[in-house]
Amino acid sequence: AWLVGASQVLGLTSVVLTGVWMGHYRGGFAWDGSAQEFNLHPLCMVLGLVFLHGDAILVYRVFRNEAKRNVKMLHGIIHLLALIISIIGFVAVFDFHRQSKIPDMYSLHSWCGMATLVLFCIQWVMGLLFFLFPVASSWLRASYLPIHVFCGVALLVMAIGTSLLGITEKLLFSIMSTYSLFTPEGVLANILGILLMCFGVLLGYLI
């Protein structure tokens, strides 16, 4: 149980650190096609596709003794929230690229990120169809469950990996020449990366 608490501390600290990095070092947030609009991208992705995604999975572990129906609703709702926030983060970076005439989808980060979000949407729709609406027979549900669980965990790992790639890209775009001098911004972003990794390992252990 205290491990669940630790995961919440790690997750929340990650979200806050992302906010501090973008808010303090990278000039804050806006929705005007500028680099400040880009800044919403990391924040939304870490909040939606890492923290909320992780917590949506954890509810089954935390609320073991609640009525299954309620926990299922909660799981679905948190995932819906995660989906909405990640889509805002997606729109933010694509809109920034369009207005700044930067090409789309060239980087390893963007390929991994797109794969993660598309599969996340599919997982979401499948989860809804199989578990919330009574279209699938109970046999079909039972055989889909392990697939659902494996894909859910794999997607969390992919989201975390993608985030670390994004952190590395953002650092090399912004502070390439001073990164190797252990500037505070670089160290802060490295720590963010390590915390995200620890969040992933801990959730993998808890599930």
- CB-based contacts of 107: which residues, under 8 Å, 6+ apart? 165, 169
Contact 48, 84 (CB under 8 A): yes
- Spatial separation of the C-alpha atoms in residues 171 and 169, rounded to whole Å: 5
Q: Contact between 186 and its own copies (CB under 8 A)?
A: yes
Contacts of 4-13 with C-beta under 8 Å, sequence gap 24+, read: 4/58, 4/61, 4/62, 4/206, 6/202, 7/54, 7/58, 7/199, 7/202, 7/203, 7/206, 8/55, 10/195, 10/198, 10/199, 10/202, 11/50, 11/51, 11/54, 11/55, 11/199, 12/51, 13/195
**By rule CB under 6 A, what string of x and - marks binding of each residue 164-183 to ligand ASC?**
---------xx---------
**By rule CB under 6 A, what string of x and - marks binding of each residue 65-104 to ligand HEM?**
-------x--xx--x-------------xx--x------x
Q: Contact between 117 and ligand HEM (CB under 6 A)?
A: yes
**By rule CB under 6 A, what string of x and - marks binding of each residue 150-169 to ligand HEM?**
--xx-x---x--xx--xx-x
Question: How many residues of this chain bind ligand ASC (CB under 6 A)?
Answer: 6
Residue 49 contacts which entry, its own copies, ligand ASC, ligand HEM, none (Cβ below 5-8 A, type-dependent): ligand HEM
Contact 188, 25 (CB under 8 A): yes
- Spatial separation of the C-alpha atoms in residues 66 and 54, rounded to whole Å: 19
Q: Contact between 149 and ligand HEM (CB under 6 A)?
A: yes
Q: Which stretch binds its own copies (CB under 8 A): 37-45, 65-73, 133-141, 196-204?
A: 196-204
Q: Which residues inside 140-159 make contact with its own copies, applying CB under 8 A?
A: 150, 154, 157-158
Residues that bind ligand HEM (CB under 6 A): 41-42, 45-46, 49, 53, 57, 60-61, 72, 75-76, 79, 93-94, 97, 104-105, 107, 109-110, 113-114, 116-117, 120, 123-124, 127-128, 131-132, 145, 148-149, 152-153, 155, 159, 162-163, 166-167, 169-170, 173, 207
